Amino acid sequence: MKKTISLLVFLAFFYVLLPLNTVHAYGWGYSKNSNHEIPDIGSYQVLLDEYNAYYVDDSGEKVLYVTFDNGYEQGYTDEILDVLKEEKVPATFFVTGHYVKSKPDLIKRMVNEGHIIGNHSYHHPDFTIMNKQAIQKEVEDLENAVAEVSDQKEMMYLRPPRGVFNEDTLKWTNELGLVHIFWSLAFIDWNTDGQKGWQYAYDQIMDQIHPGAIILLHAVSSDNAKALKQVVKDLKEEGYTFKSLDHLMLKNQLPQGFPMF
Protein backbone atom coordinates (compact mmCIF):
# COMPACT_ATOMS: atom_id res chain seq x y z
CA MET A 1 0.00 0.00 0.00
CA LYS A 2 1.28 3.39 -0.96
CA LYS A 3 0.96 4.91 2.51
CA THR A 4 2.15 1.89 4.45
CA ILE A 5 4.82 2.41 7.04
CA SER A 6 5.21 -1.29 7.59
CA LEU A 7 8.68 -1.55 6.09
CA LEU A 8 10.50 0.28 8.86
CA VAL A 9 13.29 -2.20 8.37
CA PHE A 10 14.66 0.52 6.13
CA LEU A 11 14.69 3.07 8.92
CA ALA A 12 17.25 3.34 11.69
CA PHE A 13 17.45 0.11 13.70
CA PHE A 14 17.80 2.05 16.96
CA TYR A 15 13.99 2.06 17.22
CA VAL A 16 14.14 -1.69 17.73
CA LEU A 17 16.72 -1.28 20.45
CA LEU A 18 14.78 1.26 22.48
CA PRO A 19 13.52 0.04 25.86
CA LEU A 20 10.03 -1.32 25.36
CA ASN A 21 8.46 1.07 27.85
CA THR A 22 9.69 4.28 26.21
CA VAL A 23 7.21 4.58 23.33
CA HIS A 24 3.53 3.80 22.85
CA ALA A 25 3.73 2.41 19.33
CA TYR A 26 6.40 0.40 17.55
CA GLY A 27 7.00 0.08 13.84
CA TRP A 28 8.20 -3.37 12.80
CA GLY A 29 11.88 -3.42 11.96
CA TYR A 30 14.91 -5.68 12.03
CA SER A 31 18.64 -5.63 11.46
CA LYS A 32 18.92 -6.40 7.76
CA ASN A 33 21.81 -8.55 6.58
CA SER A 34 22.96 -10.24 3.39
CA ASN A 35 24.64 -13.19 5.12
CA HIS A 36 21.60 -15.45 4.67
CA GLU A 37 21.08 -15.45 8.42
CA ILE A 38 17.95 -14.76 10.44
CA PRO A 39 17.84 -11.00 11.08
CA ASP A 40 17.97 -9.75 14.65
CA ILE A 41 14.90 -7.95 15.99
CA GLY A 42 16.38 -6.77 19.27
CA SER A 43 14.00 -6.32 22.17
CA TYR A 44 10.95 -7.06 20.02
CA GLN A 45 11.67 -10.76 20.52
CA VAL A 46 10.50 -10.53 24.14
CA LEU A 47 7.05 -9.34 23.07
CA LEU A 48 6.73 -11.87 20.27
CA ASP A 49 7.58 -14.73 22.60
CA GLU A 50 5.12 -13.56 25.23
CA TYR A 51 2.17 -13.16 22.86
CA ASN A 52 2.70 -16.06 20.45
CA ALA A 53 3.70 -13.88 17.50
CA TYR A 54 6.09 -14.83 14.69
CA TYR A 55 8.44 -13.21 12.22
CA VAL A 56 10.49 -16.25 11.26
CA ASP A 57 10.81 -20.01 11.54
CA ASP A 58 13.90 -20.35 13.72
CA SER A 59 14.22 -24.13 13.39
CA GLY A 60 17.15 -23.83 10.99
CA GLU A 61 15.36 -25.80 8.29
CA LYS A 62 15.51 -24.53 4.72
CA VAL A 63 11.81 -23.77 4.62
CA LEU A 64 10.19 -20.55 3.38
CA TYR A 65 6.81 -18.92 3.89
CA VAL A 66 5.47 -16.60 1.19
CA THR A 67 3.06 -13.87 2.24
CA PHE A 68 1.46 -11.00 0.35
CA ASP A 69 -0.17 -7.82 1.61
CA ASN A 70 -3.16 -6.96 -0.57
CA GLY A 71 -4.86 -3.66 0.17
CA TYR A 72 -5.88 -2.96 -3.38
CA GLU A 73 -5.52 -4.61 -6.78
CA GLN A 74 -3.23 -3.49 -9.60
CA GLY A 75 -3.85 -6.33 -12.02
CA TYR A 76 -0.94 -8.66 -11.16
CA THR A 77 -2.50 -11.08 -8.67
CA ASP A 78 -3.84 -13.48 -11.30
CA GLU A 79 -0.33 -13.77 -12.73
CA ILE A 80 1.08 -14.36 -9.25
CA LEU A 81 -1.55 -17.02 -8.56
CA ASP A 82 -0.70 -18.72 -11.85
CA VAL A 83 2.95 -19.03 -10.78
CA LEU A 84 2.06 -20.27 -7.30
CA LYS A 85 -0.23 -22.91 -8.80
CA GLU A 86 2.31 -24.05 -11.38
CA GLU A 87 5.12 -24.27 -8.84
CA LYS A 88 2.89 -25.70 -6.06
CA VAL A 89 3.78 -22.93 -3.62
CA PRO A 90 1.30 -22.13 -0.84
CA ALA A 91 0.94 -18.50 0.20
CA THR A 92 -0.92 -16.33 2.66
CA PHE A 93 -2.65 -13.21 1.38
CA PHE A 94 -3.28 -10.55 4.02
CA VAL A 95 -6.22 -8.57 2.72
CA THR A 96 -8.34 -5.58 3.72
CA GLY A 97 -12.06 -4.99 3.45
CA HIS A 98 -11.57 -2.85 0.37
CA TYR A 99 -9.81 -5.71 -1.38
CA VAL A 100 -12.48 -8.24 -0.47
CA LYS A 101 -15.26 -5.93 -1.57
CA SER A 102 -13.62 -4.96 -4.85
CA LYS A 103 -12.13 -8.34 -5.82
CA PRO A 104 -14.27 -11.17 -4.42
CA ASP A 105 -13.40 -13.44 -7.35
CA LEU A 106 -9.71 -13.24 -6.48
CA ILE A 107 -10.42 -14.03 -2.83
CA LYS A 108 -12.43 -17.05 -3.94
CA ARG A 109 -9.64 -18.16 -6.28
CA MET A 110 -7.01 -17.85 -3.54
CA VAL A 111 -9.01 -20.06 -1.21
CA ASN A 112 -9.98 -22.58 -3.91
CA GLU A 113 -6.32 -23.01 -4.85
CA GLY A 114 -5.28 -23.78 -1.29
CA HIS A 115 -3.95 -20.46 -0.10
CA ILE A 116 -4.72 -18.83 3.24
CA ILE A 117 -6.46 -15.49 3.60
CA GLY A 118 -4.91 -13.52 6.45
CA ASN A 119 -6.44 -10.64 8.36
CA HIS A 120 -5.07 -7.18 7.58
CA SER A 121 -8.14 -5.49 9.16
CA TYR A 122 -11.16 -4.11 7.38
CA HIS A 123 -10.20 -0.41 7.11
CA HIS A 124 -6.40 -0.61 7.66
CA PRO A 125 -6.31 1.67 10.75
CA ASP A 126 -3.57 2.15 13.33
CA PHE A 127 -4.41 -0.40 16.01
CA THR A 128 -2.24 1.34 18.60
CA ILE A 129 -4.68 4.25 18.94
CA MET A 130 -7.72 1.96 19.29
CA ASN A 131 -9.27 0.04 22.16
CA LYS A 132 -9.79 -3.70 22.19
CA GLN A 133 -13.44 -3.50 21.15
CA ALA A 134 -12.65 -1.38 18.09
CA ILE A 135 -9.85 -3.75 17.05
CA GLN A 136 -12.17 -6.70 17.50
CA LYS A 137 -14.72 -5.13 15.18
CA GLU A 138 -12.06 -4.48 12.53
CA VAL A 139 -10.83 -8.07 12.47
CA GLU A 140 -14.28 -9.64 12.76
CA ASP A 141 -15.71 -7.48 9.97
CA LEU A 142 -12.89 -8.62 7.71
CA GLU A 143 -13.36 -12.26 8.69
CA ASN A 144 -17.07 -12.04 7.93
CA ALA A 145 -16.42 -10.36 4.58
CA VAL A 146 -14.06 -13.15 3.51
CA ALA A 147 -16.53 -15.81 4.70
CA GLU A 148 -19.25 -14.26 2.55
CA VAL A 149 -17.31 -14.65 -0.70
CA SER A 150 -15.25 -17.81 -0.10
CA ASP A 151 -15.13 -21.15 1.66
CA GLN A 152 -12.73 -19.84 4.31
CA LYS A 153 -14.92 -19.13 7.32
CA GLU A 154 -12.34 -18.36 9.99
CA MET A 155 -9.08 -16.42 10.17
CA MET A 156 -6.11 -17.25 12.37
CA TYR A 157 -3.32 -15.02 11.11
CA LEU A 158 -3.09 -11.26 11.52
CA ARG A 159 -0.67 -8.80 9.99
CA PRO A 160 -1.09 -5.47 11.79
CA PRO A 161 -2.03 -2.56 9.54
CA ARG A 162 0.96 -0.37 8.71
CA GLY A 163 3.22 -2.76 10.63
CA VAL A 164 2.47 -0.78 13.80
CA PHE A 165 1.92 -2.52 17.12
CA ASN A 166 2.45 -2.36 20.87
CA GLU A 167 2.05 -4.69 23.82
CA ASP A 168 -1.67 -4.00 24.12
CA THR A 169 -2.42 -4.79 20.48
CA LEU A 170 -0.40 -8.02 20.68
CA LYS A 171 -2.14 -9.00 23.91
CA TRP A 172 -5.67 -8.16 22.76
CA THR A 173 -5.43 -9.85 19.38
CA ASN A 174 -3.88 -12.90 21.01
CA GLU A 175 -6.87 -13.02 23.35
CA LEU A 176 -9.11 -12.86 20.27
CA GLY A 177 -7.43 -16.00 18.94
CA LEU A 178 -5.27 -14.32 16.31
CA VAL A 179 -1.59 -14.95 15.67
CA HIS A 180 0.51 -11.94 14.67
CA ILE A 181 2.65 -12.66 11.61
CA PHE A 182 5.45 -10.19 10.94
CA TRP A 183 8.27 -10.86 8.47
CA SER A 184 12.03 -11.35 8.16
CA LEU A 185 12.44 -10.42 4.49
CA ALA A 186 10.99 -7.42 2.69
CA PHE A 187 12.00 -4.54 0.48
CA ILE A 188 10.44 -1.43 -1.05
CA ASP A 189 8.13 -3.01 -3.60
CA TRP A 190 4.77 -1.30 -3.09
CA ASN A 191 5.41 1.93 -4.99
CA THR A 192 3.66 1.28 -8.29
CA ASP A 193 5.18 4.41 -9.79
CA GLY A 194 8.70 3.38 -8.82
CA GLN A 195 9.11 -0.16 -10.09
CA LYS A 196 12.72 -0.96 -10.96
CA GLY A 197 12.44 -4.09 -13.08
CA TRP A 198 12.14 -7.77 -12.24
CA GLN A 199 15.88 -8.13 -11.66
CA TYR A 200 15.69 -5.69 -8.74
CA ALA A 201 12.98 -7.73 -7.03
CA TYR A 202 14.86 -10.96 -7.74
CA ASP A 203 18.13 -9.59 -6.33
CA GLN A 204 16.47 -8.21 -3.19
CA ILE A 205 14.92 -11.56 -2.37
CA MET A 206 17.97 -13.65 -3.18
CA ASP A 207 20.31 -11.33 -1.27
CA GLN A 208 18.20 -11.45 1.89
CA ILE A 209 17.00 -15.05 1.79
CA HIS A 210 17.68 -17.24 4.79
CA PRO A 211 16.33 -20.48 6.27
CA GLY A 212 12.94 -19.98 7.87
CA ALA A 213 12.18 -16.66 6.17
CA ILE A 214 8.68 -15.24 6.28
CA ILE A 215 8.72 -13.22 3.06
CA LEU A 216 6.57 -10.11 2.68
CA LEU A 217 5.68 -9.11 -0.87
CA HIS A 218 3.07 -6.74 -2.27
CA ALA A 219 0.95 -8.04 -5.12
CA VAL A 220 0.66 -4.55 -6.63
CA SER A 221 4.27 -4.85 -7.79
CA SER A 222 4.83 -5.67 -11.45
CA ASP A 223 8.44 -6.47 -10.53
CA ASN A 224 7.33 -9.16 -8.09
CA ALA A 225 4.93 -10.70 -10.58
CA LYS A 226 7.65 -10.96 -13.23
CA ALA A 227 10.36 -12.19 -10.85
CA LEU A 228 8.37 -14.69 -8.82
CA LYS A 229 8.72 -17.74 -11.04
CA GLN A 230 12.50 -17.44 -11.34
CA VAL A 231 12.81 -16.77 -7.61
CA VAL A 232 10.86 -19.90 -6.75
CA LYS A 233 12.74 -22.09 -9.22
CA ASP A 234 16.16 -20.90 -8.08
CA LEU A 235 15.35 -21.23 -4.39
CA LYS A 236 14.16 -24.77 -4.96
CA GLU A 237 17.47 -25.44 -6.68
CA GLU A 238 19.20 -24.18 -3.53
CA GLY A 239 17.32 -26.77 -1.48
CA TYR A 240 14.54 -24.60 -0.07
CA THR A 241 10.96 -25.81 0.27
CA PHE A 242 7.85 -23.66 0.50
CA LYS A 243 5.30 -24.24 3.24
CA SER A 244 2.13 -22.59 4.53
CA LEU A 245 1.84 -20.78 7.84
CA ASP A 246 -0.24 -23.71 9.08
CA HIS A 247 2.90 -25.83 8.78
CA LEU A 248 4.78 -23.37 10.98
CA MET A 249 2.05 -23.37 13.61
CA LEU A 250 1.82 -27.15 13.67
CA LYS A 251 5.58 -27.53 13.91
CA ASN A 252 5.69 -25.25 16.92
CA GLN A 253 2.94 -27.17 18.68
CA LEU A 254 4.51 -30.60 18.25
CA PRO A 255 7.14 -31.98 20.64
CA GLN A 256 10.73 -31.24 19.62
CA GLY A 257 11.99 -33.88 17.21
CA PHE A 258 8.51 -35.03 16.20
CA PRO A 259 8.58 -35.84 12.45
CA MET A 260 6.79 -33.49 10.04
CA PHE A 261 5.47 -34.78 6.74
Residues annotated as catalytic (active site), given as ranges: 69, 218
| Cα distances (Å, whole numbers) of residue 85 to 68, 88, 97, 115, 210 | 15, 5, 25, 10, 23
What is the distance between the alpha carbons of residues 117 and 85, in angstroms, rounded to a whole number? 16
Residue 191: name the closest of 164, 230, 224 by CA.
224
CB–CB of 64/89 below 8 Å? no
CB-based contacts of 64, cutoff 8 Å, min separation 6: 209, 212, 213, 215, 235, 240, 241, 242, 243
